[in-house]
Amino acid sequence: MSRQTSRLDAKKVNSELLTLTYGALVSQMLKEIENPDDVNKQLERIGYNMGVRLIEDFLARTSSGRCLEMRETADKIQQAFRLYLNMQPTVTSWSNAGDEFSLVWDQCPLSEWVEMNNSSLKYCALIPGAIKGALQMVQLDVQCWFVQDQLKGDAVTELRVKYIKRLEDAVPAGED
């Protein structure tokens, strides 16, 4: 055999395949669901479902404990970005009450090779969905939305995360 060793980098190929698969999914959705706002909703729901499962992997891998404060949560989210997407978003723009912050990044594997015309589509809507889903599993209800988006011509992409409330464990029915 002439080709003993593979010249392909498995990690890189997988990452590219993820990017391209996601792109194919988004374009397929746009074909089926004509309204971009509905596509955003679908993408966010997909992200939510992924986040719900991803948090288990995250907790198992990082063995991190419970977050008592939003600042800790922000750190963990940053760590998750590093772990899963190999990104380094910066955490900035804290609100005075400390319940709202921004994640800012200028490069995201998901939106590599993507160009968009001006539509209301939020290409990366998967990410806020995933954050919301993951945090819900650790009893945090948050709101996530894009403030700036590179695909829309902004210099960076900015995702705003706002703490809403702490979810309480519900008492099982029939027990007091």
Partner 1 sequence: MADDILFELLHSEIINYALDQSKSNDDAAKKEVDLSNVEYIGFAAGYKVMERLTREWPRFKDELDTMKFICTDFWTCIYKKQIDNLRTNHQGVYVLQDNSFRFLTSFSNGQQYLEYAPRYVAYTCGLIRGGLANLSLNSVVTAEVQAMPSCKFHIHVQRT
Binding residues (CB under 8 A) for partner 1: these are 3, 6-25, 27-29, 32, 42, 46, 49-50, 53-54, 57, 83-86, 109-110
Q: Looking at beta carbons only, is 18 or 164 nearer to partner 1?
A: 18
Q: What is the DSSP string of the chain?
A: ----S--S-HHHHHHHHHHHHHHHHHHHHHHH---HHHHHHHHHHHHHHHHHHHHHHHHHHH------SHHHHHHHHHHHHHHHH---PEEE---TTSSEEEEEES--GGGTT----S-S--TTTHHHHHHHHHHHTTTEEEEEEEEE-GGGT-SSEEEEEEEEEEPPPPPPTT--
Q: Looking at beta carbons only, is 88 or 92 nearer to partner 1?
A: 88
Whole-number minimum distance, CB 15 to partner 1, in Å?
4
Whole-number minimum distance, CB 10 to partner 1, in Å?
5
Q: Are the C-beta atoms of 77 and 58 separated by less than 8 Å?
A: no
Whole-number minimum distance, CB 114 to partner 1, in Å?
12
Q: Looking at beta carbons only, is 86 or 143 nearer to partner 1?
A: 86
Q: Looking at beta carbons only, is 31 or 166 nearer to partner 1?
A: 31
**Measured distance CA(129)–CA(80) in Å, rounded:** 14
Whole-number minimum distance, CB 54 to partner 1, in Å?
6
Whole-number minimum distance, CB 108 to partner 1, in Å?
10
Q: Looking at beta carbons only, is 86 or 119 nearer to partner 1?
A: 86
